[in-house]
Every structure is written in structure tokens, then in C-alpha cells.
């Protein structure tokens, strides 16, 4: 009888222990959140990146300044060590401001709001001119073939699907035209490409982004036009009119330049060989200030170092804040980070990326095996009061993605996505679009997750 009472009591004891641990964890996480929300330097660091430096395209002078600035920021945050990790990066320059127009008939011209796609080649000095052929899918492009497309300018009118609540899903589906559209149009003899900007709402701002050429086909110039211009052009083409476009760009690719990932580290006290990476990308496109994409992720990552030091929290595992270089048009920083990890035979336990803007955090996307994912789900209740309600499968990011090759668990901060693509890769991506409160709350929940992984591992 006494033995039966003992066995019945064991689950109660285990439950009580788990509740006590969660209460203790909750108190620690609250300390982290309070410190970030009351004393963060992230917003002022972002102000410096945006207003004192500005756009930071790989290979540019501003990118060099950003490396120097974030090196100093990590020092001031209290990192045990701060160092630079070299990488060679592409150096694409936009050149003179682009220009273009549509010929609508009766000598009427419509001036376009446009910009060259990243890594695009330039037009001839006199520009490029041709009849517009609109396509609404890659399948349609291939079905038209050379007979319809040779000598023409292809207009990719890929609209971001408004039915997707997560706008990144719509972006991923519609981005094909930008990513491979110029190469595929060249395959059929097209002389130029215009794409509908990847933006959620109608506006007058063209949104740039990288295109990738195929060495099997000619390289032809490619531009993005604003969504308002795209809607107007689509409407005119529906009238069965023959419309001619002209545009001129002077962009070019220069020789690769030396650059760096910037890394700040706090060494772990119990398992220093197990590394936790938290980061964002330091480079940005050249049209705006790179505030949401991805100055926000960089300063949030620096804040993780600062808050741990400010609270005298000694993580069990080594924490690295990494400012990755060249995410936008090459991914060279991510490749260099993986190469160093493999060369040094490092054990990368976990990596967290913030590259979806500094908006209010809503969750984390996690890429892990099912057992690890279920373990992380146990932490989900600890984040509820901070507005983070979603731990979902599938996450990470472009810069930490390569670490999957060496078995790293990946995660990406998932903020509210509704306004991100109003700003993404456009002149509208400025410091003024970032809310101090939202930026700090994102940094807080990132710090909380990093601490939990450092404390408990997997």
C-alpha cells in the first residue's frame, strides 16, 4: 500500500518540478525583456547605420564604413571578442539614374518609374527599345517561345497573391520573374525585361532585387517598374494595343572586392565548443537606407550581446552575433561563415536569423528534426505574453541556411509581415519606417530564445 502511494505521487512531483522550472525561466526571460525594452541601444545603432552611413551595397564605400561601425558597436556592447571574417564580394554599381517610357500611340508617352535589377547588365548607350509582350507565368513564357518573343521586351506581370496572409509566401511565389525571368526571356531572343515590382500594395516606387543570369543564354538588361505602372500597362495591353517600351540603364559589375563578416562573441562557461549564432545581414540595396532590410536584424543581434552583458548573464554555450556581408546579391558572407566552421571543425548547435524587418514579433520558424522541434515547442508558452504565439516548422534564412549542412538547428524571427513589402528593396526602406518599440520587442524575444537554447541545449 505504501509503495502504491509513492508511485502515485511521483508524477505529481515531476509536474511540480516542471512548473517550478518554467516559473524560474519566466522570471529570467522577463529580466531580459525588461532590460531590452528599457535600455536598448538598438534603435540608436540603427539610426547611425541609416543616417550616418546609408545604403550599404556589397563592395561599396558605405559597406566598408558599416563593417567598421558594427565592429565598434559590438565592442561597446561588451562582446568578449570581436573580429572580422574575410570574404570576397561582388561589386555591382547602378550608375546614372535609370529612365524609360511607354509609347501608347498618338505620340503619347508615359514616363515609367523604374530601376535596374541587381546584377543586371546595362543597356546600350542609346537604351533598348521593343514591343512589349506580357506574360503572367513562366509556363506562358515557355509556351510563347522564340516565335513570339524574339526582339521583344518581356513584361513579367507576376502579382503577389493577396490571399496569402503571410506575404513572404506570396513573395516567394511571384519572385520567379525577377530571379530567373531575364535569363529565360533571353533564351527566346528577347532584348530586355521589365518586371512588376514585388510589392504588396499599389505605389509609385520601383523595388529592386537580384536577378541571376544563365551562362547558356545572352545577358539582357532588366528593370523593375512600380506596381502602379504595371497596373496601367496591364490595362492598356488588355485593349489589344501594340505598346512599345524604351529604357536606359548604365549599371555594371566591377571586380570583386574584399569585405568581411563582423562577429562578436561571448564565450560559454560550460559548453564553450557549442556555438549559437544570431545574426542579420549588413549589406543592403542602394535605393533606400536598408533599415528594415536588414539593419534591423543587425542591431537586434548586437543587442543580444549587450543585454547578456548588462545583466551579467553568463551563457553556458558560446554566443555569436554575426553581421553577414553580401546576402543581397551573392551570399558570399554566408558561404565564408560555413567554410570557417567546417575548417575549424566547430560545433554549431543553433542559429537564429532576423531578416524579415523590425516589425512586431509574431513567432519563430524552426528547421529541425521532429524531436528537437517538439522540445522547442515546450518553450512556446513562455513567449505568449510578448505576442509571440507561433512556433512553426520551416524557418532559418539565407545567411544561416548553409549551416544546415553541418547539422545546425535553424530558426528565423517571424515578425508581422503586412507592411514589409511596401518597403522591401525600395527607396521607402528608411529609418523612419522602424518603430523603436517593435524593434526592441523583436530583440527581446530573440534574446529570450537564445538564452533558452544556451541554458538547456537540445
Active site (catalytic) residues: 327
Report the distance separating Cα 92 and Cα 117, nearest Å: 11
Give the three cell numbers for residue 19: 512548473
Q: Are 425 and 293 in contact (CB under 8 A)?
A: yes
CB half-sphere exposure, 419, CA atoms < 13 A = 10
Residue whose C-alpha cell is 511540480: 16
Q: Edge-to-edge strand order for the sheet containing 114-116?
A: 108-111, 99-105, 244-248, 128-135, 153-156, 192-196, 222-225, 114-116
Report the distance separating Cα 36 and Cα 444, nearest Å: 6
**Which of helix, strand or coil describes residue 427?**
coil
Report the distance separating Cα 415 and Cα 40, nearest Å: 19
DSSP per position, 242-308: --EEEEE---EEEEEEEEEEEEEEE--SSEEEEEEEEEEE----SSS--IIIIIHHHHHHHHHHHHH
Give the three cell numbers for residue 297: 536584424
Q: Are 172 and 156 in contact (CB under 8 A)?
A: no
Report the distance separating Cα 283 and Cα 433, nearest Å: 18
DSSP per position, 66-132: HHHHHHHHHHHHT-SEEEEEEEEEEEEE--SPPEEEEEEETTEEEE--EEEPBTPPPPPTT-EEEEE
Report the distance separating Cα 390 and Cα 234, nearest Å: 38
Q: Are 334 and 402 in contact (CB under 8 A)?
A: yes
Amino acid at each position: 500500500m505504501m509503495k502504491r502511494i509513492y508511485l502515485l505521487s511521483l508524477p505529481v512531483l515531476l509536474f511540480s518540478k516542471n512548473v517550478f522550472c518554467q516559473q524560474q525561466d519566466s522570471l529570467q526571460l522577463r529580466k531580459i525583456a525588461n532590460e531590452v525594452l528599457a535600455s536598448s541601444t538598438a534603435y540608436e545603432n540603427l539610426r547611425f547605420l541609416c543616417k550616418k552611413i546609408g545604403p550599404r551595397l556589397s563592395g561599396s564605400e558605405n559597406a566598408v564604413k558599416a563593417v567598421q561601425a558594427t565592429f565598434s558597436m559590438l565592442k561597446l556592447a561588451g562582446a568578449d571578442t570581436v573580429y572580422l571574417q574575410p570574404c570576397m564580394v561582388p561589386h555591382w554599381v547602378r550608375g546614372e539614374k535609370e529612365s524609360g517610357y511607354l509609347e501608347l500611340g498618338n505620340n503619347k508617352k508615359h514616363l515609367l518609374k523604374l530601376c535596374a535589377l541587381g546584377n543586371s547588365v546595362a543597356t546600350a548607350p542609346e537604351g533598348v527599345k521593343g514591343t512589349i509582350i506580357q506574360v503572367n507565368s513562366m509556363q506562358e513564357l515557355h509556351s510563347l517561345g522564340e516565335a513570339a518573343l524574339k526582339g521583344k521586351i518581356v513584361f513579367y506581370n507576376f502579382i503577389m497573391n493577396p490571399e496569402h496572409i503571410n506575404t513572404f509566401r506570396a513573395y516567394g511565389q511571384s519572385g520567379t520573374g525577377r530571379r530567373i525571368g531575364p535569363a529565360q526571356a533571353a533564351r527566346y531572343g528577347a532584348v530586355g525585361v521589365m518586371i512588376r515590382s514585388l510589392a504588396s500594395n499599389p505605389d509609385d516606387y520601383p523595388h529592386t532585387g537580384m536577378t541571376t543570369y544563365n551562362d547558356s543564354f545572352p545577358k539582357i538588361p532588366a528593370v523593375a517598374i512600380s506596381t502602379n505602372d504595371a497596373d496601367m500597362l496591364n490595362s492598356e495591353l488588355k485593349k489589344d494595343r501594340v505598346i512599345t517600351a524604351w529604357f536606359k540603364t548604365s549599371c555594371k559589375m566591377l571586380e570583386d572586392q574584399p569585405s568581411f563578416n563582423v562577429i562578436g562573441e561571448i564565450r560559454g562557461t560550460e559548453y564553450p565548443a557549442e556555438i549559437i549564432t544570431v545574426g542579420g545581414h549588413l549589406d543592403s540595396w542602394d535605393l533606400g537606407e536598408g533599415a528594415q532590410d536588414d539593419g534591423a536584424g543587425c542591431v537586434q543581434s548586437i543587442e543580444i550581446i549587450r543585454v547578456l552583458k548588462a545583466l551579467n548573464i553568463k551563457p553556458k554555450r558560446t554566443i555569436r552575433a554575426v553581421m553577414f556581408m553580401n546576402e543581397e546579391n551573392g551570399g558570399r558572407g554566408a558561404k565564408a561563415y560555413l567554410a570557417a566552421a567546417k575548417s575549424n571543425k566547430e560545433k554549431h548547435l543553433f542559429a537564429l536569423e532576423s531578416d524579415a524587418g523590425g516589425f512586431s514579433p509574431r513567432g519563430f520558424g524552426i528547421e529541425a528534426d521532429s524531436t528537437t522541434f517538439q522540445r522547442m515547442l515546450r518553450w512556446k508558452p513562455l513567449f505568449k505574453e510578448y505576442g509571440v504565439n507561433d512556433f512553426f516548422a520551416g524557418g532559418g534564412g539565407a545567411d544561416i541556411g548553409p549551416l544546415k549542412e553541418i547539422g545546425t538547428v535553424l530558426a528565423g524571427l517571424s515578425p508581422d509581415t503586412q507592411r514589409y513589402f511596401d518597403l522591401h528593396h525600395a527607396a521607402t526602406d528608411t529609418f523612419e519606417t522602424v518603430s523603436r518599440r517593435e524593434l526592441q520587442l523583436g530583440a527581446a524575444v530573440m534574446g529570450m530564445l537564445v538564452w533558452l537554447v544556451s541554458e538547456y541545449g537540445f
